[in-house]
Amino acid sequence: MTEPGQPLRVVLADDHAVVRKGIREFLETGGSIAVVAEAADGVEAMKLIRDHQPDVAVLDIQMPGQSGIDVTHAIRAERLPVGVLILTAFDDEPYIRAVLQAGANGYVLKTAEAQDIVEAVQAVNEGRSVLDPTIARKLMGQLARSEAAGISAEPLTERELEVLRLTAKGHTNKAIGAQLSISDRTVQGHLARIYDKLHAGSRTEAVMRAVTLGLIPPVLDEADQN
């Protein structure tokens, strides 16, 4: 997360120069976001992310060299403290699932309003999960179909539900541990069991499945009220 008073630092990756120029312009308009580097392919994007250690990486999915999904996998494998926002034109379910399982914090379509994309970058920097409304509806429908097909989840303990509720609000493992008076490692253990019980591959997917099952309130509704 960026330091108070400092602009949020972004590495932007898209293989179309005109698209990058447009995204950069509206991200930097308000002055609270600075694009510190741009990449035209996934390999270059990963190098720039390692070099600059930005607060957020804004990635397209389909790029030469490595896809945005590959770059996300690499960021998580190297445990880099970088939020990942996928900004793409693709809303196909296989892409959605692959992005979430790779560990991206957000998935927004390029058809979104400029201000919505700016707010998505800021939300990812704050540790919150962000889904384009179109993506959220598709994912909710997919999870509902899984339930209808008999793919059920194991019951969660009260402590696991507490961890999941705080996760849905965008809290880090450290913040969750502080609130519940448990260690980061214990929080990580709870999340691992939650993923297993809910058949989820990421925090966002676990939260969305929990919403579908009625285990926690709809996070989208909560966000709309703020």
CATH number, domain with residue 94 = 3.40.50.2300
pLDDT at 140: 64
Same domain, 147 and 122: no
Same domain, 13 and 121: yes
pLDDT tens profile 37-72: 999 999 999 999 999 999 999 999 999 999 999 999
pLDDT tens profile 171-206: 888 889 999 999 989 999 999 999 888 888 788 778
Same domain, 94 and 189: no
Domain for residue 226, yes or no?
no
Owning domain of residue 182: 140-215
* Per-residue three-class SS string for the chain: CCCCCCCEEEEEECCCHHHHHHHHHHHHCCCCEEEEEEECCHHHHHHHHHHHCCCEEEECCCCCCCCHHHHHHHHHHCCCCCEEEEEECCCCHHHHHHHHHHCCCEEEECCCCHHHHHHHHHHHHCCCCEECHHHHHHHHHHHHHHHHCCCCCCCCCHHHHHHHHHHHCCCCHHHHHHHHCCCHHHHHHHHHHHHHHHCCCCHHHHHHHHHHCCCCCCHHHHHHHC
